């Protein structure tokens, strides 16, 4: 690619606090707005606080939906619930794609032009925090929606995750007027293309990581992630049928320990689709 063609590319940042913290480490903004190290550290620690809030809330949601349940189940529901789950996943995916893409290209810009930053490690962590929070939010959202049994609960969790993914945006909007907000509107242009052999060892590692992530983003994440909600219940049901068959074989042969037998019976009762299946489980319990 020619340098003139490469220079036409630009990085447009969203109005979120991760982006504000990121550009606070750029030398041009440091000189223009007289940002000292203390102010930069404040931006970085506030970004860490936002990231921790997002991860902690995601963990609490995941704990409530998965780890605190005696028998975690993902069941295929009716057409209305199915369509609500799919639409909710697609809408949140559209929102998160922008954040994930921005984080990936912040990594790229930092890796291509480290000389434009006063420090490179804090901006790298800021980009990684936004990337991680976006991917985790989407994965947990899919798991949560797959466990919901009606349309109302699907919509409630969709709205909750919509707010969760906008914590950094809400934090940036709540801040009082300061000049860095206007700098977000200025796009970052790619001046020249830096050859791989001219990069340092750490820059080469980041470059390889960026290339891996962008390939996964463009080939898998962008196109297929929302559709996980369609076949996740059937994949879960297939694994459960295999585990149930093994349990019945162990119980029938009498070779299962007391703990294994209890887990197998619990799984049997939890996956019973009818009263007839439940009666089979109870007969196994009586045989023990």
Mapped to the 3 state alphabet, what secondary structure does the chain carry?
CCHHHHCCCEECCCCCHHHHHHHCCEHHHHHHHCCCHHHHHHHHHHHHHHHHHHHHHHHHHHHHHHHCCCCCCCCCCCHHHHHHHHHHHHHHHHHHHHHHHHHHHHHHHHHHCHHHECCCHHHHHHHHHHHHHHHHHHHHHHHHHHHCCCHHHHHHHHHHHHHHCCHHHHHHHHCCCCCHHHHCCCCEECCCCCCHHHCCHHHHHHHHHHHHHHHHHHHHHHHHHHHHHHHHHHHHHHHHHHHHHHHHHHHHHCCCCHHHHHHHHHHHHHCCCCHHHHHHHHHHHHHC
Question: How sure is the predictor about 12, in pLDDT bands with cuts at 50, 70 and 90?
Answer: confident
Q: Which pLDDT score, from 0 to 100, does residue 104 have? A: 94
Q: Which pLDDT score, from 0 to 100, does residue 126 have? A: 96
Q: Which pLDDT score, from 0 to 100, does residue 1 have? A: 45
Share of the chain above pLDDT 70, in %: 75
Q: Which pLDDT score, from 0 to 100, does residue 194 have? A: 80
* pLDDT tens sequence across 101-141: 999 999 999 999 999 999 999 999 999 999 999 999 998 88
Q: Which pLDDT score, from 0 to 100, does residue 120 have? A: 92
Q: Where are the domains of the chain?
A: 3-232, 234-287
Q: Which pLDDT score, from 0 to 100, does residue 242 have? A: 46
Query: What integer best gives the mean pLDDT of the chain?
Result: 79
Question: How sure is the predictor about 275, in pLDDT bands with cuts at 50, 70 and 90?
Answer: very low
190-218 average pLDDT score: 89
* pLDDT tens sequence across 166-175: 888 888 888 7
pTM to 2 decimals?
0.78
Q: In degrees rounded to 5, what are phi and psi of residue 184? A: -60, -35
Q: Which pLDDT score, from 0 to 100, does residue 68 have? A: 67
* pLDDT tens sequence across 158-167: 888 888 888 8
* pLDDT tens sequence across 15-32: 889 999 999 999 989 998
Least confident of 12-26, 58-72, 194-208, 215-229: 58-72
Q: Which pLDDT score, from 0 to 100, does residue 181 have? A: 79
Compare 45 and 151 and report the one with higher pLDDT.
45
- How many angstroms separate the CA atoms of 225 and 137, rounded? 12
């Amino acid at each position: 690619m020619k340098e003139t063609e490469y220079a036409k590319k630009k990085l447009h940042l969203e109005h979120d606090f991760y982006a504000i913290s990121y550009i606070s480490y750029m030398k041009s903004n440091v000189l223009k707005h007289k940002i000292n190290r203390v102010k930069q550290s404040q931006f970085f620690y506030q970004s860490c606080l936002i990231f921790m809030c997002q991860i902690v809330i995601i963990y609490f949601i995941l704990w409530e939906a998965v780890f605190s349940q005696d028998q975690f189940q993902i069941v295929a529901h009716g057409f209305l619930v199915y369509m609500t789950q799919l639409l909710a996943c697609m809408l949140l995916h559209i929102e998160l794609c922008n954040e994930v893409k921005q984080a990936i290209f912040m990594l790229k810009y930092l890796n291509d032009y480290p000389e434009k930053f006063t420090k490179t490690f804090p901006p790298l962590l800021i980009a990684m925090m936004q990337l991680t929070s976006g991917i985790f939010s989407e994965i947990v959202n899919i798991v949560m929606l797959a466990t919901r049994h009606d349309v109302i609960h699907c919509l409630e969790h969709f709205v909750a995750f919509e707010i969760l993914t906008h914590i950094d945006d809400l934090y940036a909007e709540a801040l009082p007027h300061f000049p860095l907000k206007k700098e977000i509107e200025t796009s970052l242009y790619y001046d020249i293309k830096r050859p791989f052999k001219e990069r340092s060892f750490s820059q080469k590692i980041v470059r390889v990581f960026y290339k891996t992530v962008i390939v996964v983003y463009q080939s898998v994440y962008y196109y297929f992630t929302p559709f996980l909600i369609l076949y996740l219940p059937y994949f879960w049901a297939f694994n459960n049928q295999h585990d149930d068959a093994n349990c019945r074989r162990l119980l029938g042969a009498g070779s299962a320990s007391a703990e294994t037998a209890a887990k197998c019976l619990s799984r049997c009762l939890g996956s019973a689709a009818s009263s007839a299946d439940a009666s089979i489980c109870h007969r196994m319990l009586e045989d023990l």
